[in-house]
């Protein structure tokens, strides 16, 4: 359906679910650009990330959210709140899960506290990992008993399979309305936010255990000078030992993180980037409401 101005639909959809089901991967597939950072580590996403999907006939503001989990720190509680707040104003909720044997206990809890206002689309992601697709049917049937879904869409966000169907299902549920963003607008967040995120992404991908959860990246300076951008960022960790690991022998680790992050930033902003990284020990930042707010967690929602 080609939209005339009166048929054009616009609105927002919040992507929620357990950690690691592929929410950020779906956002990126829908945008056709790896805007949200993705890693195998739970709690990779810490902020509400808004991506604008432009299609003929509709405009969808997709909200990527942190995975809702059992929190072990003040940071964890802030992340859960960020996710829940995003669902409160959305026109549509995309509830994402993965093929499990029987309903995952986390899904049972989350689906029952989603609230009742906005319609919910069930997205079963990562179906590429399922050898026997017939196993999907009993799961979908069981999930369907937990609440009413406006649609149920099995997808593989990683392979971009089924993503357009999800978008079409969202569009059907949106109110008629005009475009609210320019055709080339991808997000409401400034480039400097993504610069910090891309540094954190490389750290999550190259460290283990407690380090990913102990790291925050603060962009302290972001200066465009002609065709180049100069960025300074401080990586906060909680302990000296973490700082040593992150810097690595003779600074090797930090250098590799910086190089990979710089390439990602250059791709996004299409300019040459000079990136300088510092590592600082900020004890207890994951527990301190003030540090959390200063590092940009919780304040946007
Ligand atoms: P989030 O925590 O829900 O945002 O999940 P992410 O998007 O960060 O993805 C978590 C992990 O699952 C990453 O390693 C992704 O590459 C992987 N992943 C996401 N979607 C798919 C999918 O459709 N198939 C497979 N096999 N892996 C996926
Ligand atoms: Mg995520």
Closest CA to 87 of 68, 105, 107: 68
Say yes or no to pLDDT of 3 above 50: no
**Each residue's pLDDT tens digit, 199-220:** 999 999 999 888 999 999 999 9
**pLDDT for res 114:** 84
Give the atom of ligand 1 at the shortest distance from the alpha carbon of 125: 23
**pLDDT for res 89:** 84
Give the mean pLDDT of the chain. Answer: 94
**Each residue's pLDDT tens digit, 131-145:** 988 889 999 999 999
Say yes or no to pLDDT of 78 above 50: yes
Enter the DSSP assignment of 135: G
Give the atom of ligand 1 at the shortest distance from the alpha carbon of 43: 2
**pLDDT for res 113:** 82
* Mean per-residue pLDDT, 287-296: 94
**pLDDT for res 209:** 83
Of residues 175 and 300, more confidently modeled: 175
* Distance (Å) from CA 163 to ligand 2 centroid: 16
**pLDDT for res 27:** 98
pLDDT bracket for residue 4 (50, 70, 90): low
**pLDDT for res 117:** 82
Edge-first strand listing for the sheet containing 58-64? 49-55, 58-64, 9-17, 92-97, 120-124, 151-154
The encoded tokens of residue 288 equal 């301190």
Residues of the chain above pLDDT 90, percent: 88
Say yes or no to pLDDT of 300 above 80: no
Give the atom of ligand 1 at the shortest distance from the alpha carbon of 161: 23
**pLDDT for res 7:** 87
* Mean per-residue pLDDT, 121-135: 94
CA pair distance 216, 297, nearest whole angstrom: 10
- Of the listed ligands, the closest to the CA of 166 is 1
**Each residue's pLDDT tens digit, 82-97:** 999 989 989 999 999 9
* Mean per-residue pLDDT, 105-127: 91
* Distance (Å) from CA 57 to ligand 2 centroid: 28
Closest CA to 174 of 113, 90, 54: 90
Residue nearest to atom 10 of ligand 1 (CA): 20
Instruction: Find the residues whose C-beta lies inside 6 A of ligand 1.
Output: 19-25, 38-40, 44-45, 67, 125-126, 128-129, 156-158
Closest CA to 234 of 243, 225, 244: 243
* Mean per-residue pLDDT, 22-38: 97
Contact yes or no for 71/56 (Cβ under 8 A)? no
Residue nearest to atom 11 of ligand 1 (CA): 40
The encoded tokens of residue 136 equal 């999907």
Say yes or no to pLDDT of 5 above 60: no
- Of the listed ligands, the closest to the CA of 98 is 1
**Each residue's pLDDT tens digit, 226-260:** 999 999 999 999 999 999 999 999 999 999 999 99
**pLDDT for res 156:** 98
């Amino acid at each position: 359906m080609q939209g005339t101005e009166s048929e054009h639909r616009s609105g927002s959809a919040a992507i929620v679910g357990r950690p690691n089901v592929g929410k950020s991967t779906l956002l990126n597939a829908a945008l056709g650009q790896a805007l949200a950072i993705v890693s195998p580590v739970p709690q990779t996403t810490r902020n509400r990330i808004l991506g604008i999907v432009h299609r003929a006939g509709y405009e969808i503001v997709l909200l990527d959210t942190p995975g809702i989990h059992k929190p072990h720190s003040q940071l964890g509680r802030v992340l859960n709140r960020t996710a829940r707040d995003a669902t409160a104003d959305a026109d549509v909720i995309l509830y994402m899960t993965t093929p499990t044997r029987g309903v995952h206990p986390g899904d049972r809890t989350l689906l029952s506290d989603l609230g009742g206002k906005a319609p919910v689309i069930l997205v079963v992601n990562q179906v590429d990992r399922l050898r026997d697709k017939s196993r999907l049917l009993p799961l979908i049937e069981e999930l369907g008993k937990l609440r009413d879904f406006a649609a149920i869409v099995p997808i593989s966000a990683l392979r971009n399979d089924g993503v357009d169907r999800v978008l079409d299902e969202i569009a059907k549920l949106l109110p008629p309305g005009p475009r609210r963003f320019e055709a080339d607008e991808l997000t409401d967040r400034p480039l400097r936010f993504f610069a910090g995120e891309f540094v954190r992404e490389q750290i999550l991908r190259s460290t283990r255990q407690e380090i990913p959860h102990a790291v925050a990246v603060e962009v302290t300076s972001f200066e465009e000078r002609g065709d180049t951008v100069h960025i300074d960022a401080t990586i906060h960790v909680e302990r000296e030992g973490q700082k040593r690991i992150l810097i690595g022998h003779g600074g090797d680790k930090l250098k590799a993180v910086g190089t990979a992050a710089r390439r990602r930033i250059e791709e996004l902003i299409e300019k040459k980037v000079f990136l300088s990284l510092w590592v600082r020990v900020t004890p207890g930042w994951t527990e301190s409401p003030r540090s959390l707010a200063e590092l940009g967690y919780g304040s946007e929602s």
